[in-house]
Amino acid sequence: MVRPVLLLCLGICVVFAAETVAAQVSDAPVPPAILNAKKLFISNAGSDSGLFPEPFSGDTNRPYNEFYATLKATHRYELVSNPSDADLVLEIRLLAPYGPTNPDKQHGASDPLPMLRLVVYDGKTHYVLWAFTQSVDAAFLQKTHDRNLDNAITAVARDFQSVGSAAPTP
């Protein structure tokens, strides 16, 4: 009879301790170079092979072109044509790592699971300041693949802008 009460008390203590620790943890600071950036250079790190023209329409520059257009449309940053003129260099790449092995395919081959990778470099020091990865949802139709790629590009641009507009931590 004592054990259930003891376990209940112990459980309550663990919950309170976890809440106390969570309350003490604050968000780590966003690098000031990201918060203060005005000029961006967007670097095209390319796309892995086997993604164009299927499952995605267009060519291997499509993620770069769409990401560039998305950021340009915000009018928040000046997009420069030379990385030495930029506060930040954004490197966009469409990756296609292979997913779990598909037993229906010969030799254990599997379908690629595309994802966008955005790496943010400091324009002066060339250090990586931040990185974002956005999966591209799977689809059966090319039209849906294209829409999912568009959604992933929009999401990674939104994630970057969200970090760039974060309030500085005291």
Which residue matches tokens 């000029």? 39
| Low-confidence spans in the chain with pLDDT less than 70 | 1-25, 99-111, 167-170
31-164 is classed in which CATH architecture?
2-Layer Sandwich (3.30)
Question: Structural domain boundaries of the chain?
Answer: 31-164
CA–CA dist 152, 29 (Å, integer)? 25
Look at residues 90, 93, 91, 110 and name the one whose alpha carbon lies nearest to residue 102: 110
The pLDDT of residue 113 is 84
The pLDDT of residue 168 is 58
Q: Is 46 exposed, middle or buried (0-12, 13-18, 19+ CB in 10 A)?
A: middle
Angstrom distances, CA of residue 9 to CA of 22, 74, 81, 133 = 20, 54, 63, 42
